[in-house]
């Protein structure tokens, strides 16, 4: 089996598991608190780090299960070292991005700060109701940048798993 085929199968498994882990496995508590830091009044870096760590553990377990199923069913030639490297890089980068202030910093230094605020009240063209009040939306720039960052590292993880 070619490395390209292994990469494709592994990426699909990780992509599906990422969506499940980020949206179904992650608890509401983890989603709400994983970005907490000491710079925000009433928030704790420790509580935020714990929530984020628990989220990433659940996410990585979900990815490991999906990956194991695909590897076993398709008899993919992957190694323990490649799998550990790939899932490790994915977990570390996911944790980094999900602390929120880190991804906001990256958006700022890359000129994407306005896009980061898209769909929120802080954006100059935020969505409004007929009465002119903020209309909440699921489609935000922060979410798009978050998922795009994660997808990039899913690709890196799949490459490591397929190549090592």
- Phi (first) and psi of residue 149, to 5 degrees: -60, -45
Q: Where are the alpha helices (DSSP H) in the chain?
A: 3-20, 28-33, 45-74, 80-98, 101-109, 113-116, 141-163
Query: Can you tell me the distance from the alpha carbon of 30 to that of 2, in angstroms, rounded to the nearest whole number?
Result: 39
Q: Which domain holds residue 75?
A: 3-163
**132-157 per-position pLDDT tens digit:** 776 666 678 889 999 999 999 999 99
What is the model's pTM? 0.87
Q: What is the mean pLDDT of the chain?
A: 91
Domain count, the chain: 1
């Amino acid at each position: 089996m070619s490395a390209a085929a292994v990469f494709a199968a592994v990426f699909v498994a990780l992509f599906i598991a990422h969506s499940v882990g980020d949206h179904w496995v992650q608890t509401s508590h983890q989603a709400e608190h994983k970005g907490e830091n000491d710079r925000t009044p009433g928030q704790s870096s420790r509580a935020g780090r714990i929530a984020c760590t628990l989220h990433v553990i659940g996410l990585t377990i979900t990815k490991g299960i999906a990956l194991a199923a695909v590897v076993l069913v398709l008899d993919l030639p992957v190694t323990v070292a490649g799998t550990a490297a790939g899932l490790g890089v994915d977990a570390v980068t996911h944790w980094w991005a999900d602390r929120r202030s880190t991804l906001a910093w990256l958006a700022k230094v890359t000129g994407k700060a306005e896009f980061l605020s898209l769909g929120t009240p802080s954006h100059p063209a935020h969505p409004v109701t007929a009465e002119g009040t903020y209309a909440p939306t699921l489609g935000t720039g922060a979410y798009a940048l978050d998922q795009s960052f994660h997808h990039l590292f899913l690709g890196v993880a799949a490459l490591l798993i397929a190549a090592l």
